[in-house]
Chain A
Amino acid sequence: MGQKGFFTDTTLCIGCKACEVACKQWNQLPDDGFHFTGMSYDNTGALGSATWRHVAFVERPVPLQGQTTGVGDFSWLMMSDVCKHCQHAGCLEACPTGAIIRTEFDTVYVQPDVCNGCGYCVVACPFGVISRREDDGRAWKCTLCYDRLGEGMTPACAKACPTESIVFGDLDELHARAENRIRALHERGVTDAYLYGKDAENQPGTGGLNAFFLLLDKPEVYGLPPDPVVPTKKAGRTWGAVALGALGMAAVALGSVLLGREARP
């Protein structure tokens, strides 16, 4: 089966939202409201329970490297955001029911028939991806088209992307492809380009993302955290504090009982 993932090259994205539409249609997701947000061409807003692909539109008051425009200092950044299918997935490690599993394709999958809607995964995801739909009561997110992968098909979004900004494939092939692309871009003078979340070296907090990105500006600009960490990585210290507290609680309780007996008139 191998490790499957997405490589999203934001330099190729033209903001057509074909991925958003393809995702909604294939997965038969309900709508997420028809609203005018005023945020450039982004009327989707954010990833959510019914929004598993989200194209971000950034209008920058700076030109792209090596590009001259007739309109002054301006450039577009567009990025199709998705669940990152983290190597160390916060949602998976937090789920108390075992509803979230790692599949044979090394992707992270929520089993809707098991989830009881405790909402813990929602706060555990360092990227703010998974969310609970209130009138459904369960948590939902991108499945990396688990049903399509099982049939040997490409996920709907990657299939629909007209510019190959979203590439689906085996992780090692994607890594090679991304490295080549970065090299080519750097040669062309776009030295701002970098890979976000390619591996554990790049992102120790998550151990790397199966859906990683090629970005041109700070992660913050796209709404991505600059140094994300799976909360579980800090759990050791937290449980240590609990152990200390337990000692204290026991000492106080025992001490008070003994004191109370001593003080007997």
Chain B
Amino acid sequence: MSPPVIGNEPTFLDKLQRKRDGRNVDPALGVLSGEGAQQRVKDPEDPHPERRPMPTLPSQLATERETAPSYYGLPAVKEPVWIWSVPTYLYVGGAAGAASLLGFMADVAGGPELERLGRRGRWVGTVGDVLSSGLLIHDLGRPSRFLNMLRVFRPTSPMSIGSWVLATSGGLNTLGLLLGQRRGWPGVVGRCATAGAGVLGMPLAGYTAVLLCNSAIPVWQATHRTLPLFFMSSATAAAGSLLSLLPHGPAEARVLRPYRLAGKVAELVMGVAVERDAARVPEVARPLHEGFSGTLWKTSRVCSAAGLVLDVLPGRARWKQVAADVLTTAGALAARFAIFHAGKASARNPQATFQGQRQGLGAAEVAGNTVASDGKPLKFPLPVLR
């Protein structure tokens, strides 16, 4: 039972205040030129997350989540501000990347019989890239400034790398579609573009995991070695299922079946690996087991497993194949939303940050330090103060 939330209902004072932004500078008398003066206020509201009345005394000593030391149970890191379009993009971008890659491979090694598969891969890739850009721009706080993403290249920022990969891959895929069938040098350019987009499909499917892992959110950071592999195998499974759902001939079906199955198996295995990676610190793994994100994660695992089982069951009925592919797609989509919401829940729980770092998931993992910033050895539970 969580204590009731206080301080979120707008009070009379709030409503009065709402007419102004709280700066209390009369434009006739003062100039707004401070560092924060540009901060736009449409509807002054409490910008803080909901607060609960004192769930714990900060200095109390205990190991349980509710009573372990923290500042009134408030989050230690900020919750991601991203909305639904980001996890949707994680799926769409992944599937687009994997489809571009398969299309490219079919072009190089498939011969004339698989030409249609190559074209289909390019189409899915192009549409996916365009859709991805739209989803990402939708999430920006200032969508009109989306081009600023390509203002610099910052190798330390996966989002910068990803923006460049997505933009290049989208451009190359489009070029490949437009010119790929032509004769002469335009055709050569088109085929080179296809190859480029195919190669970029791999980082496109994987960087999204780096994007999440390269953050202070405990559950994302803790899974930084396995999440990329999970996302990439899930992208393979998703692209295979998507291409199988689209109309295709028997020659293509012979390629899609092993492709799909390999992706589905890898996805299930890597899903377990992600769970184990997070489970190094129970408090970090928590959102994968409980709450909304836990339910989503379990649903996604069940869907993926069912998709695989249905796929390998004997029988050639079309409905069976469709059901398997739909299940896999649902599993892949739900997995992205589960990981996304697990991150949100993880950020809200200060103990995920604190206990994770006390148990060696902070700087100690890479810097090898044996003491925390307070000079005490890294260990948990904390020594008793009294």
**A and B assemble together:** yes
A95-B157, A204-B367, A256-B105 known; 20 new pairs, CB 8 Å cut-off, are A28-B33, A31-B22, A37-B72, A39-B51, A56-B71, A97-B149, A119-B141, A120-B159, A123-B77, A124-B215, A135-B40, A218-B382, A220-B69, A223-B76, A225-B77, A227-B378, A229-B363, A250-B101, A250-B105, A257-B114
Interface residue tally for chain B (C-beta within 8 Å): 137
A225 to B353, CA, bound (A): 7
Can you sample 17 A-B contacts with CB below 8 Å? Answer: A114-B145, A114-B151, A120-B157, A126-B77, A136-B41, A138-B39, A138-B142, A146-B35, A217-B59, A227-B364, A229-B362, A238-B209, A245-B232, A252-B236, A256-B102, A260-B110, A261-B109
- Interface flag for B289 (CB, 8 Å): no
Comparing B173-181, B187-195, B198-206, B290-298, the segment that makes contact with chain A is B198-206
A117 to B227, CA, bound (A): 25
Inter-chain contact B109/A257, CB cutoff 8 Å: yes
A255 to B343, CA, bound (A): 35
- Interface flag for A93 (CB, 8 Å): yes
A20 to B340, CA, bound (A): 34
10 smallest CB-CB distances across A and B, nearest first, come from A117-B141, A31-B22, A205-B363, A137-B141, A223-B71, A260-B255, A227-B362, A33-B46, A28-B34, A245-B232
Which single residue of chain A is at the shortest CB-CB distance from B110?
A: A257
Interface residue tally for chain A (C-beta within 8 Å): 118
Interface residues of B in 40-77 (CB under 8 A from A): 40-48, 51, 53-54, 57-60, 68-72, 74-77
A10 to B337, CA, bound (A): 41
Inter-chain contact A133/B373, CB cutoff 8 Å: no
- Interface flag for A234 (CB, 8 Å): yes
Inter-chain contact B374/A215, CB cutoff 8 Å: yes
Instruction: Select A94's contact among B75, B156, B363, B366, beta carbons within 8 Å.
Output: B156
CB distance from B256 to the nearest CB of A (A): 7
A218 to B59, CA, bound (A): 8
Q: Mark A89-108, 1 if CB is under 8 A from B, else 0.
A: 01001111111000000000
CB distance from A131 to the nearest CB of B (A): 5
Inter-chain contact A36/B6, CB cutoff 8 Å: yes
Chain A hits for B220, CB < 8 A: 123
Interface residues of A in 196-255 (CB under 8 A from B): 196-197, 202-206, 215, 217-229, 231-235, 237-239, 241-242, 244-246, 248-250, 252-255
Chain A hits for B33, CB < 8 A: 28
